[in-house]
Amino acid sequence: MASPITLLLVRHGQSEWNAQGLLQGQTAHVRLTALGHAQAELAAAELASLHPGALMSSDLVRAVETAEHCARATGLRVVTTPALREQGYGLLEGRPSRELWDVVDWTDASWAAEGGESLAELHARVAAFLGQLCAEPPADVVALVTHGDTIRAVQAVAAGLGPDALPAVTPHNGSVTRLEICD
């Protein structure tokens, strides 16, 4: 049995599209706002006090910008991976989030927008990533800079829950969530 690993899940700071109320998904180029950089700086300070031994990030710009703050605060090198990307929403990305309540079937874990990714696919991607992390942990405490839906998927996988049971609450931008896995 693997030794437990502590994950420090950092949600990226506020992005330009968060501020505009637009659905981001896997849109790669969306940058942080000034508030997002301030949130990332606070998250980085909190993260440094928790002494991670490794720092990994989604490869999407808003996460990488947040991870750069974390790298400066911890002295760690950022390793990026597409495994930590947000759920893909395909053709819905860039649309106002409020419009989505009429088109997204939030109760069906296999539903996906055209060109997007279902919650079941997100869950499977995260489960595979966590399995690899448990098999070859880079440190006992690992910081993951990622996205709201991805954090919810990590929480579900760690709790042994399926894609239909992701937590309902999305962590706030710039938050740090502590979680134990691999025990």
Q: Please identify every residue annotated as catalytic.
A: 12, 86
Assign 139 to helix, strand or coil: coil
Contacts for 156 with CB less than 8 Å, ≥ 6 apart: 123, 162, 163, 165, 166, 167
- 84 token code pair: 């930590």
Q: Which amino acid is at 14?
A: Q
The answer to whether the CB of 124 falls within 8 A of the CB of 131 is no
Helix 61-74 and helix 34-49: axis angle, to 10°?
40
Instruction: Report residue 180 as tokens.
Output: 């134990």
| Dist CA 39 CA 153 (whole Å) | 22
